[in-house]
Amino acid sequence: MQIEFKDETNSVSEEYIKTIHDLLRFAAKQEKVPEHAEVSISFVDNKTIQNLNQSYREIDEATDVISFALQDEIYGAQPIITDESLPLVLGDIVISVEKAQEQADSYQHSLNREFGFLALHGFLHLLGYDHETEEDEQEMFTKQEEVLNAFGLSRE
């Protein structure tokens, strides 16, 4: 799986990017994501993610992560047809660096773990996991913890 990173804040270290890269490739293998899949991850400030949150979710506040899935099937539409000679673009993940730091401090774990958690959370959304219902939330959060622990990025 190809992962493109864009750091609009110029503040995310190569160590964090490597961890996210390796974690998402690990998760992709567990979830049987095709090797020709692509994902982009952008690191932004609170103002930028607040604007995105307002525009796309009508919530006027900063959030920690937003995902934009490009492979969602719409009810009544034709199924998505993939051609292995072309990239399978799963979507975009946007992470607030400021929120990640706040949450790492609040949960008393490393920023590396928080970035990993947020990236994985966004990635699972791109794969169709959600937390709209209690049952869906339990499934998604259990999956997150299983992947993080198996990867070795448990709470420190």
* 97-111 pLDDT per residue, tens: 999 999 999 999 999
Q: DSSP assignment of 100-122, as one string?
A: HHHHHHHHTS-HHHHHHHHHHHH
Give domain status of residue 138, yes or no.
yes
Give domain status of residue 45, yes or no.
yes
In terms of residue numbers, what domain contains 125? 2-151
Whole-number pLDDT of residue 87 = 74
Report how far residue 100's alpha carbon sits from residue 112's, in angstroms, rounded to the nearest whole number: 9
User: Is pLDDT at 76 greater than 60 in this prediction?
Assistant: no
Give domain status of residue 80, yes or no.
yes
How many separate domains does the chain show?
1
User: Is pLDDT at 78 greater than 80 in this prediction?
Assistant: no
Give domain status of residue 87, yes or no.
yes
Residue with more model confidence, 75 or 142:
142
Q: How does the average pLDDT of the chain come out, rounded? A: 90
Question: Taking residues 73-80, what's their average pLDDT?
Answer: 41
* 10-33 pLDDT per residue, tens: 999 999 999 999 999 999 999 999
Whole-number pLDDT of residue 154 = 75
SS3 95: strand
Give domain status of residue 36, yes or no.
yes
CB atoms closer than 10 angstroms to residue 71: 14
Domain of 96: which CATH number?
Answer: 3.40.390.30
Residue 69 burial by CB count (10 A; 0-12/13-18/19+): exposed, middle or buried?
middle
Give domain status of residue 128, yes or no.
yes
Give domain status of residue 156, yes or no.
no
